[in-house]
Amino acid sequence: MLLTCKTLKLFAIGMLSLSLIGCETKAGSGALIGAGAGAVVGGLIGSNSHARAGEGAAIGAAAGAIGGALIGHGMDESDKKAEQREYESDYDRRNNAGQPRWRESSSSGVTKSDVIAWTNQGVRDDIIIDRVDRSGTVFRLSASDQNDLRDHGVSESVIRAMKDTARR
């Protein structure tokens, strides 16, 4: 029993040390922290209930890693969305100084140059498409316009959405 507790303590210290180092993503860090915490709790439960600290630690580590990874992944996704909103807000402040901010019911037109600029700045396709749709702008894209958009990295889905505005 003494050897098992010592082993469990060393394992717990090792897992906690790894969790302090962390990972590039919160999902990875969550998995490490969850595995460490799960191993400690599982080891203690296994040791107290059936004298099977090792099995309890292994089961606890697996369950903790899965739970921690899921929670961390959710946090990563939330951070990405917040970063995108911040990026768009900064873009609006820089490029619309003295002009009204983008509104849901904006009557101002979106230009081909706007679409290219948004693409180059990393705005997601679904956001660009939404802006094109909400602007009310009707695009009549020639083959040359379409090639120009492609040359500037605009995706086919955005080009298709722009072409679809001619049906309004």
pLDDT of residue 2: 44
Residue 35 Cα distances to 41, 58, 118, 168, angstroms = 10, 9, 41, 55
| Dihedral pair phi/psi, residue 102, rounded to 5° | -60, 130
pLDDT of residue 24: 72
How confident is the chain (168 residues) per 10-residue block, as mean pLDDT? 57 60 69 71 70 71 75 80 76 55 51 93 92 90 94 96 88
Residue 151 identity (one-letter amino acid):
D
Angle at 22 between CA 35 and CA 9, to 5 degrees: 45
pTM more than 0.75: no
Q: How far apart are alpha carbons 94 and 62 in whole angstroms?
A: 47
Q: How far apart are alpha carbons 68 and 72 in whole angstroms?
A: 6
Which of 152, 103, 158, 167 lies closest to 132 in space, CA to CA?
Answer: 158
91 within 8 A of 128, measured Cβ to Cβ? no
